Amino acid sequence: MDALQKLMFNFFPLLFLFPLAGLLLNVANGRFWHKPIAGIIASSAAGLSFVVAILQWVALLRQPDGTVIILGTWLQVGTLNVPFAFQVDTLSVTMMLVVTGIGTLIHLYAIGYMYGDPGVTRFFVYLNLFLVAMLLLVSAANYPLLFVGWEGVGLCSYLLIGFWFDRGEGGTGNANAGRKAFVVNRVGDLGLILAMGLLFWQLGTLTFDDVFAQATAVFPVGSPLIVAITLLLLLGAAGKSAQIPLFIWLPDAMAGPTPVSALIHAATMVTAGIYLIARSHVLFALAPVSQTAVSLIGASTALLAATIATAQFDIKRVLAYSTISQLGFMVAAIGMGAYVAGIFHLITHAFFKALLFLAAGSVIHGLEHGGHSDPVTLQDMGQMGGLRQRMPITFAVYLVGALALAGIPPLAGFFSKDEILAAAWQANRAVYIMLTLAAFATAFYMGRQVWLVFMGEARSETAVSAHESPPIMTIPLLILAALAIVGGGLNLPGVHTLGHWLGHTLGHGELLSFNATVALTATLLALLAVGLAYWLYGRHPLGAAATDPLTQRLGPLFVLFNQGWWVNEMVEWGIKRPFCHLSTVLAHSDEAIFAWAERQLVHTVQRGTAVLRRTQTGQLNWNVAGIIVGLLLIWLLLRFS
Amino acid sequence: MEFVTPTINILIVLPVLLVAGGGALLMLLELFMAEERVKQWAPTLAIIVLALAFLQTIGLWGQTHTTFTPEGSSPMVILDNFATFLNVIFLLTGFFTVLISVNYLPRVGLNRSEYYMLMLFSLSGMMLMGMANDLILVFLALEVLSIPLYILAGLSRPRPESEESAMKYFFLGAFSSAIFVFGIALTYGATGSTALPAVLAGVSNGGALALAGVAMMLVGFGFKVAAAPFHMWTPDVYEGAPTVVTAFMSVGAKVGGFAAMLRVFVSAFGSLGQTWVPAVAVIAAITLIIGNVVAIVQPNIKRMLAYSSIAHAGYILMAVAASVNSPDGVSAALFYMFAYLFTNLGAFAIAIAAERKLGEGVMLDDYKGLAKRSPLLALAMAYFMLSLTGIPPTGGFSGKFFVFRATLEAGLVWLAVVGVITSVVSGYYYLRVVYLMYMYDGEGELHTKPALLTAVALTVLATLVLGLLPGAWYEITKQAALQGLQVLAGG
Amino acid sequence: MVLFIILAISAVAAALGMLFSRNAVHSALFLVLNFAIVAALYLTLNAPFIAMVQITVYAGAIIVLFLFVIMLLGAEQLRGVAGDGGVWQRWLAGGLTAVLLISFASILFQGNAITPASAAGVIDTSPAALGLRLFEAYVFPFEVTGVLLLAAIIGVVVLSISKKRGQQ
C-alpha cells in the first residue's frame, strides 16, 4: 500500500461524518433557519460524502485488492471480537458510489420537491440519517455492524414512509404503511439474526474475511447447516429486497414522499438484500440448493410483480411493482452465480429507476402546483394524459427512463438485463423463460404508462393546468437521464470493465461472452411489447371517462393482476388474523375470566367487602392453581431429566 | 455451655445497615420533628443514605469477605464481587425511585414519610438476597424485601385497585413463601444443613428429597421474579400499585429474586445443574411466550409493562439456564439486569410524567401525540421502547445479545430460537407506543420536574453507554461472575 | 411407631375436619386440635422447646386472634360460596391435589429418599442450647428478623391510618 493510497483511506471516516454533521446541524438549528437552508446543508453533506467515496475509488484504482479499516473496538467479549471495522474493496466502494452519487442528486431534487412543506427540516434529517445507515451497511466488515446499518435503514424507511403520517386512508393510512414495512422487515431480520447466530455458533467469528476463510473448511458443500444459514440469509434479503413472499410492504411504502421512493425504495435500500447475498457469495457457493432457491425466488418475483404492474393505475404503484420485478432480476442473477450481472443491473437500475421515480414525482409536483391538489387523483394515470406538451423536459427524461427499463438498446437497461438473461440461458432454462416473460411484461407496462401519462389529450382539469417543474428538480433529472443512456458502458460485452473491477472481490472468471440469440430475442420481444402498448393505447388515445382497454382483453386476469394476486389478503387472513386471534385467546384465558368476575363484583358488592369477597370469586384460586401447576411441571422436569 | 462470639466484620454489612438504619432513622425523626418537615426532608435523607451506602459498596469492589462466621461453621454473610455488583444495582434502583417519587407523591396525595422508610427496608432486604450464604438468611431477606412491598402496593388505599393489588400480592406472596420455606425444609432434610456450602456438599446425594426442595425453591423464586406460570399476580399488582411503587418493584424485586436464585441455584445446587437446567429452560420459554404475546393486547401502559417485565424475567431465566454449561451465563444475566434497570426505570419515569392523577393517564391512548407535546420526552420514551425491544444501539440490545450468545454457548439452541422469535414479537407492542406518540394528536399535560428529568436524562445516558460500549461493562459483570458467586465454607 | 401412627392419623383427621366444617368456630377449634397434635409429634421427636412454642404461639396467640376476628365479623356460619368457577374448579383442585400427593408420595417410596444426612441432626434442642445458637450462629438472621418485624409493624400502622383517612 503506497503512501498516497494510505492518505486517501485516512479520509474514510469522513464518509460517515459528513452526513452525520449535516443531520446534527439540521437538528440543532433547524427551527431557526430559513427552510431551504436545511436542504442545502443536507445536500452538501451528501455531496461531500460522494467526494470521499470517489477518493476511496481512486485509492482502489491504484491497488484494487481492498483493505479493512478498523476505527475502534465495539464489542470485545470472550471469543467474540466485533470491531468498528470497515471493508473497503471494489464491491463496497461501488455501492458507496451509487449510494452517495444518486443520493446527492436526490437530495438536490428534494430541495425543490419539498419546498414549502412544514416538515422539510425533519425530512432532510431523516434523509441524512439514512445515508449514514446505508453507508454503514455497505461498508461494514462484519455481520453485526452490517446488521446495525440494516436496522438503521429499516428505521429510516419506517420514518420516511410515515413522513406524512396524517395523510392517507382514514388519516392513518401512511402511518400504517410505515408500520407494515417495519413489521414485514422484522420477519426478514429474524432470518439474518438467526443466520448470524448459527455462523457464530459454528465458526466463532462474524468478521467477513474470517467467516469466508473458515466456512470453506468447516462446511462441506451442501451440508444441512450451510443450507440453513444461507436460506436464513435469503429470508433476510427477501425482506429488505421485497421478494416473495415478503414483497407486500413495498407498494404500500409509496405513501412516502417521492424522493424517498426514489432513493430508498428503488435505488439503494432495497438493494441491500442483493448486496448481502453478493457479500456472502462464498457461503452461497457452498450451498447449491440455496442458490437454486435464490434464483427461483428471484425469477418468480420478477414475473409475478411484472404482471401486477401491467394492471395498476397509480403512477407510483406501477413503478413500485416494477422495482420489485427488477429486484427479482437481480436476485435471480446472483442466485445463478452471476454476481457481476446482478450488481451491474443494480447500478443501471439505480440510474433509471431513480430517474423514473423522480420524473413521476415531477409529474405529481406539476399537477399539484397547477391549482388542483387532491392527493388521490394526483397519482391516478387515468386522470392524466397529454402532459407531453406541458412538461417537455419531464417527458423527455421519462421516455429515456422507460426505454432503459424496457431494455431497448443501446440504453443502460439493455446491457445489464441482457447479461442476466444470458447467464440464465446458460444456467437454468426455467429461470430464463420466466425472466424473458417478465422482460416482455416490463416493456409493455412502461409503454402503457408513457402513453397514458404523456400522450393523447388531458383527461382532467388537473392535467390541463399542469406545468413544468423548477430547474432544481429538472437538472438532477437530466443528469440521471444521461447516466441512464450511457450507464451500459460500465460493462460492455467484450470489455467487461465492471467485471474486472468487481472480480477483485467476487472472484474472477465471470466474464460472460455476448450471446447474440438472447440479445436479439430480448430486443425483439421488447419492441413487440412496446408495439402492443401502442396498439392498445396509442392508436386510439383514451378518452376522459374511458375504461382501460386491457380490462376487456384480460378479463378476470386483469382483476387478478390489479389486486396483486391477493397476496396481501393471503397474508392478512393466513398469518396476521390467526396471530391476533391467538394473542387474544391467550389473553382471555389469562385474564378475561377474571375481568368478568370483577365486573360482577363492581356492580353487586360494596367496596368494603370487595376485597374479602374477591378472594372467593376464583381469581386467587386461579393464581394458586397456576403456582401448583408450575410446581408440578418443575417437579416432573426435575425427576425425568 | 460456653458462649462463643462469632467472627463479625461489621464493615461488610455496613451498606445494608446504612440503608436499613436510614429507614429506622426516618421513623425516629417523626418523634422530634413536625410531620411536614419530615416529609420535606425524607427524600433528601434517603438520597444521602443511599449515597453513603453506595460509596461503601464501591469501596468493597474487588474484595471477597465473609462475616458472621460462627465457631466451626460457615459464614452467614458473604460479600464478593457478585454481591457488590448487585448492591450497586439495588442502590441505583433506590436512587432513581427517589428521584421519580419526589414530585409524584405530593401530586397524587400520597406524600408520606413511611413511603421512603418502607422503600429503604425493602432495599436492605434486596441487598441481603445477594449476600446470603445460608438458606435461612435467604428466606429472611426475601421477606424483608417483600413485606414492605405488600404495604407499598396498598399505599393508595382506599382505592379499590390499590387494595386489590396489596391483598393479592400479599396472599399469593405468603403462599409462595410457604412453598419456598417448605423447599428449604426439604433441602435441610436432604443435606442436614441450611448453610450453602453444606448444601453444595450434600445435595447431590440428597436423592428425590433434595429434588423436591429444589423444585419448591424454584417456585418461590419464580414467583418473586414473575416467571410464568407464577406470574398471574403481576399485571393486577402492577396496575393497582402507585406507579412509583410499580417501578420500584419491577426492577428491585425481580433483580432481588434473581440475586438469590443465582447464588443458590448456580452455586449451591450447581452439582445438580444438569437436572434443573431443563426445568429452568422450560419455565423461561413459557415465560417468554406468555409475557410477550399477552402484552400485545394490553390497553394500559402499566399492564403492558407488567407483561413486559414478565418477558424480561424470561430472558434473564435464559441466562440462568445457560449458566451451568456456559461461562458467560451469569455475567450475561448480570449485564441484562444492569441494562434492564436503566431502561425500565426510564420508561416508568415517563409513564409517571404522563400520569395525570392517580390511575389516570395510564392508558396507551393517553400517549397519543406525546411527540408534539414534549418532543424530548417522547424521544426518550421511544429510545427506551427500542431498548426494551432490543434494537441497537441500546443497552437492551447488548443485554439480549449477551444472553442469546450465552444460551447458544450452553447448547440451548431451541431456547435461543424461542428468545429471538419472542423478541421479534415484542417489537409489535413496544413500537405501538412509539407509533401512538408520533403518529397521532392528543392532549394532556406532562408533569416534568427537575428531579424526574434528571432521572430520565441519566437513564437515557446509561442505556446509550451500555448500547455503544457494552464491552467494558461486560468485563465488569464478567469479573463479578468470576470473582464471586461462590459459597464459602469457613471456620 | 404406634404412637406416631395414631398421632399422624388424628392430625390429618383434624386438618380435614377444619377444611370441611361449615361452622367457622368449629374450623378454628379443629385447627387448635391439629396444632396440639403436631406439638405432641414434636415431643415424640425429643424437641420439647418447639412443642411448647407451637402450643403458645399457634394454639395460643394465633387461634385466639382468629376466634376474635370470627366473632367480631359474625361470620360463624360460612354460607355456601360456590364461587364463579363452579364445579369444574373443584375437580381441578382435586385433580391437582391428587397429582401433588402422588408425586410427593413417590419420594417416600424411592429407595434413597431419606439419606443419612438427616440422621446427623441429633441436635441439642434444650432452650439453653437453642438460645446460644440463636446468638452465635444465627445472630445476623436474628437481627434481620428485627427489621422484618419493624417493617411489618409500620405496615400495619400505615394501612390502618390510611383507612381512617379514607373514612373521614
Q: Do the domain assignments include residue B2?
A: no
Q: What is the mean pLDDT of residues A563-582?
A: 71
Q: Do the domain assignments include residue B7?
A: no
Give the pLDDT of residue B124: 95
Give the pLDDT of residue A615: 37
**Taking 70 as the threshold, does the pLDDT of residue A590 lie above it?**
no
Which of A62-76, A338-352, B102-116 bottoms out in mean pLDDT, i.e. has the lowest?
A: A62-76
Residue of A nearest to C85 (CA): A618
Averaged pLDDT, groups of 10, chain C, 168 residues long: 86 87 83 90 84 86 83 64 57 80 74 50 72 84 91 86 52
Residue A84: its H or E element: strand A80-88
Per-residue pLDDT reduced to its tens digit, A25-59: 887 765 666 667 888 889 999 999 999 999 888 88
Q: Do C163 and B147 touch (CB under 8 A)?
A: no
Give residue B159's domain range.
Answer: 14-482
Pick from C104, C125, C134, C162 the residue to mutate for testing the B interface (most B CBs within 10 Å). Answer: C162
Residues in Cβ contact with B212 at an 8 Å cutoff, skipping those fewer than 6 apart:
A635, B183, B186, C104, C107
A611 to chain B, any CB pair closer than 8 A? The answer is yes
Give the pLDDT of residue A137: 93
User: What is the count of structural domains for chain B?
Assistant: 1
Dihedral Cα A77, A81, A85, A88, nearest 10 deg: -170
- Domain edges within chain A: 292-561, 568-639
Show the DSSP H helices in A117-220 as ranges: 120-139, 143-161, 173-203, 208-218
A603 to chain B, any CB pair closer than 8 A? The answer is no
A80-88 and A67-77 beta bridge pairing: antiparallel
Residue A73: its H or E element: strand A67-77
CB B346, CB B418: distance < 8 Å: no
Residue B229 grid cell: 406460570
Give the pLDDT of residue A555: 73
Quote the Cα angle for B466-B470-B476, to 5°.
100
A503: confidence class by pLDDT, cuts 50, 70, 90: confident
- Eight-class DSSP state of B206: -
Pick from A628, A633, A640 the residue to mutate for testing the C interface (most C CBs within 10 Å). Answer: A628
- Residue B265 CA: distances (Å) to CA of B67, B190, B203, B276: 22, 16, 11, 9
Q: What is the mean pLDDT of residues A608-627?
A: 54
Distance from CA of A235 to the nearest CA of B (A): 14
Distance from CA of B146 to the nearest CA of C (A): 9
Q: Which of residues 598-617 of A touch C (CB under 8 A)?
A: 600, 616-617
Q: Which of residues 81-140 of A touch B (CB under 8 A)?
A: none
A595 to chain B, any CB pair closer than 8 A? The answer is no
Residues in Cβ contact with A25 at an 8 Å cutoff, skipping those fewer than 6 apart:
A41
- Beta-carbon contacts below 8 Å between A and C: 31
Output b/e per residue, B286-307; b: 16+ Cβ within 10 A.
bbbbbbbbbbbbbebbbbbbbb
Q: Do the domain assignments include residue B1?
A: no
- Which of B182, B174, B123, B116 minimizes the C-alpha distance to B150? B174
ipTM of model: 0.87
Q: Do C129 and B137 touch (CB under 8 A)?
A: no
- The whole-angstrom separation of Cα B184 and Cα B97 is 32
Distance from CA of B477 to the nearest CA of C (A): 28
List the single residue in B122, B148, B207 with the smallest CB-CB distance to C115.
B207
List the single residue in B20, B68, B189 with the smallest CB-CB distance to C147.
B20
- Which of A287, A423, A270 minimizes the C-alpha distance to A342? A423
Per-residue pLDDT reduced to its tens digit, A178-230: 878 888 888 888 889 889 888 888 888 888 988 998 888 888 888 888 999 99
Question: Residue C4's CB: how many other CB atoms inside 10 A?
Answer: 11
Distance from CA of C94 to the nearest CA of B (A): 18
Q: Do B420 and A622 touch (CB under 8 A)?
A: no
3 state SS of B362: coil
Show the DSSP H helices in B192-264 as ranges: 196-202, 207-224, 233-240, 243-261
- The whole-angstrom separation of Cα B419 and Cα B422 is 5
- Which of C5, C17, C54, C14 minimizes the C-alpha distance to C34? C14
Q: Do B158 and C166 touch (CB under 8 A)?
A: yes
Residue of A nearest to B393 (CA): A148
Question: Residue C98's CB: how many other CB atoms inside 10 A?
Answer: 10
A443: confidence class by pLDDT, cuts 50, 70, 90: very high
Pick from C69, C84, C108, C112 the residue to mutate for testing the A interface (most A CBs within 10 Å). Answer: C84
3 state SS of B134: strand
A344: confidence class by pLDDT, cuts 50, 70, 90: very high
Segments in chain B below pLDDT 70: 1, 486-491
3 state SS of B255: helix
Amino acid letter, A268: T
Q: What is the 3-state secondary structure (H, E, C) of chain C?
A: CHHHHHHHHHHHHHHHHHHHCCEHHHHHHHHHHHHHHHHHHHHHCCCHHHHHHHHHHHHHHHHHHHHHHHHHHCCCECCCCCCCCCHHHHHHHHHHHHHHHHHHHHHHHCCCCCCHHHHCCCCCCCHHHHHHHHHCCCHHHHHHHHHHHHHHHHHHHHHHHHHHHHHC
Neighbours of chain A (3+ CB pairs under 8 A): B, C
**Taking 90 as the threshold, does the pLDDT of residue A600 lie above it?**
no
Q: Do C96 and A597 touch (CB under 8 A)?
A: no
What's the gap between Cα A423 and its chain centre? Answer: 24
Plot region of B360 (φ>0 → left; ψ -120 to 50 → alpha; else → beta): beta
Q: Do A628 and C100 touch (CB under 8 A)?
A: yes
Give the pLDDT of residue C82: 47
B65-67 and A80-88 beta bridge pairing: unpaired
- Which residues lie across from A314 on neighbouring strands? A380
Dihedral of alpha carbons A399, A402, A405, A409, sign: negative
Distance from CA of B122 to the nearest CA of A (A): 24
Q: Do the domain assignments include residue B294?
A: yes
Give the pLDDT of residue C120: 47
List the single residue in C118, C136, C144 with the smallest CB-CB distance to B144.
C144
